Structure 1
Amino acid sequence: MTNANVTVVIDNMVPTHAPKPFLGEHGLSMLLEIDGRRLLIDTGQTAAVAHNLGLLGFAPSSFDAIVLSHGHYDHAGGLPHVLERAGRRLPVFVHAEAFGEKYSVSRGERRFVGIPMRVERLEGVGADFQRVEAPVEWSPGLWLSGSVPRVTDFETGDARLVAPDAGRGCDCQDPLTDDMAVFCRTPRGLVVVSGCTHSGLVNVVRHGLALTSCTRLHGWIGGTHLGPVGAAQQEATLAQLVAFAPDFVAANHCTGFSMMARLQAAFGERFIPAFVGTEISFASA
């Protein structure tokens, strides 16, 4: 049996018992090792990603590709620091709409939260952008989701995240159509590795089940964005996640402290707080 491994490189939290002096920041980066290949999923927001990769013993020159789950600074800001250390051009999978204007509005203040570097600069340090809209089978049994269909009526997203709408002449809630996840088909079902899940957790899981032809959810790894959304979406999502009956839920980043506690209560030993340095292994074949 072959195992896949996901290591959390960047998260908001570093455990107090961490064996090495990792750095934490508001952001996310995870390294997926599968079938002898390495896929870096997101890059955090600063050079902290390079610091932590070094402590974990992962050289960017060994990576086969990078995926940006969506176009927010806390997932893409560390990209040049990884590319500069790779020493060669790397495929960077990104949704075609990830470089659009993206803002957050809080207490009346409008703040840019998109990718903070121009495409040309990133290409200059080694990014070979592969723009994605439809699903891509990157490796046998492993897919990049492409655009996630929005089918639920309760996953309405984060109203604070906005984008300019020229047709309507205003800032409107950003639909974040650039939001993507990674799907692994395993002998025990679907494993989802997700950045922020702006598409909605249930939408993402349903898309993954359909795309991989899996009949059940084996595990979830990554951000859920349940922390910032409304109570109705939190309740409905948690109920549906319990109904999916996964074998493990490894949540982090935008899940938020309150929802992490609720996931712990709902799943008990099946819940993993996926802070920096956490490793999650699962059978991939």
Structure 2
Amino acid sequence: MIVKTLLENRSVKERYETEHGLSLYIEAGERKILFDAGETDAFIRNAKRMGVDLAEVDMMILSHGHYDHGGGIKYFMDLNKKALIYIHKEAFRPHASIKEGERKDAGIDDSLLHNNRVRLVDEDLYFGDELVLFSHIKGKEMVPRGNSRLLMKKDSGWIKDNFHHEQNLLIKEGNKRVLVVGCSHRGIVNILDQCEKHLDRPWTAVLGGFHLYDLDKNKEEDLSFLKGIADRLEENNAVYYTGHCTGHDQFSLLKEMMGNRIHYLATGSIVEI
């Protein structure tokens, strides 16, 4: 299995473009998967630089209904004429974030809702024995505090986002068990706990964002929260690859706590599992 980071906030080399977003290209067995597509078409240019032919991707998965993960879908569909795109049906609700006291649009293009290549997801999906796409995380432990500034529109009003639209991908290849997440808005420990029901072997690796960027390294309460995350992640044998909304300073602290159990997933990085 190989995972190439087509887009992330930082890069391993200057020749790669960066933006606040995430896009991963995954080869697992015979499958070629695009997981998220950033905000713009930058991931496409990075893919060419990394030798990835996006026209050959078999399927695309959107982790959740935010622009920095789904803004590039339309560019991908112009390039790739065959892949189906799996989006949770709740992702098409209007979404927003509060920035400097103002509500800013954070959603995705709702015209995709009517595209015949888009498959709306609600329940867990199984693609043979190799892939499980799951959502509706029920746990409430160590949920990111930054969620308090993220909204969704329901009926005629704005409420706090419940992130039922967040999807996670479990990949099974031989003896390997790999979890891919977007931002872990429901809490990475809760996602791991719920995914346990789909496991028949120990974890191998976990990749994606953990949404910890707003934790203040100078506040004891926030450091304690981060230490709690690190302790829970170390309870299994997985190796973690994270970035984007995890936050660079927060990653550095996790690195101090977890050592070689955790690595940064910057644009241009290649992970062989």
Q: Judge same fold: TM > 0.5, yes or no.
A: yes
3-state SS, counterpart of residue 44 of structure 1 = coil
1:159 pairs with one of 145, 148, 159: 148
Query: How far apart are the structure 2 equivalents of 1:155 and 1:117?
Result: 27
Query: How far apart are the structure 2 equivalents of 1:228 and 1:143?
Result: 30
1:203 pairs with one of 190, 199, 202: 190
Mapping of residues 2-81 of structure 1, within 5 Å: 4-15=1-12, 18=13, 21-81=15-75
Mapping of residues 266-285 of structure 1, within 5 Å: 266-282=257-273
2:210 is equivalent to residue 224 of structure 1: yes
The percentage of aligned residue pairs carrying the same residue is 24
Report the counterpart of residue 218 of structure 2 in structure 1.
none
Contact 1:10/1:29, CA 8 A, preserved across alignment:
yes
1:105 pairs with one of 98, 102, 119: 98
Query: How far apart are the structure 1 equivalents of 2:180 and 2:61?
Result: 11
Report the counterpart of residue 177 of structure 1 in structure 2.
164
Aligned-pair CA distance for 1:111 = 0.1
Aligned-pair CA distance for 1:117 = 5.0
Which AA in structure 1 matches 2:9? Answer: N
User: Which stretch of the first structure deviates more once superposed, 272-281 or 154-163?
Assistant: 154-163
Contact 2:144/2:185, CA 8 A, preserved across alignment:
no
Query: How far apart are the structure 2 equivalents of 1:256 and 1:280?
Result: 20
Contact 2:137/2:164, CA 8 A, preserved across alignment:
no
Superimposed CA distance per residue, residues 178-215 of structure 1 (whole angstroms, 9 cap, x where no aligned partner) = 0011112355563211111111101111122212333x
Aligned-pair CA distance for 1:274 = 0.7
Contact 1:64/1:91, CA 8 A, preserved across alignment:
yes
Which AA in structure 2 matches 1:269? Answer: N
1:244 pairs with one of 227, 232, 236: 236
Q: How large is the RMSD of aligned CA atoms in angstroms?
A: 2.1
In structure 2, do the counterparts of structure 1 residues 189 and 205 end up closer, same or farther at CA, with 3 Å as the change threshold?
farther
2:222 is equivalent to residue 234 of structure 1: no
List runs of 5+ in structure 2 lacking aligned partners: 216-220
3-state SS, counterpart of residue 204 of structure 2 = strand
1:119 pairs with one of 94, 103, 112: 112
User: Which stretch of the first structure deviates more once superposed, 89-98 or 148-157?
Assistant: 148-157
Contact 1:148/1:203, CA 8 A, preserved across alignment:
no
Aligned-pair CA distance for 1:235 = 3.9
Report the counterpart of residue 150 of structure 1 in structure 2.
138
Query: How far apart are the structure 1 equivalents of 2:137 and 2:11?
Result: 33
Query: How far apart are the structure 2 equivalents of 1:239 and 1:115?
Result: 35
2:89 pairs with one of 90, 96, 106: 96
3-state SS, counterpart of residue 118 of structure 1 = helix
List runs of 5+ in structure 1 lacking aligned partners: none
In structure 2, do the counterparts of structure 1 residues 189 and 240 end up closer, same or farther at CA, with 3 Å as the change threshold?
farther
Aligned-pair CA distance for 1:14 = 1.0
Superimposed CA distance per residue, residues 79-116 of structure 1 (whole angstroms, 9 cap, x where no aligned partner) = 11111111x24200111111111000122110000003
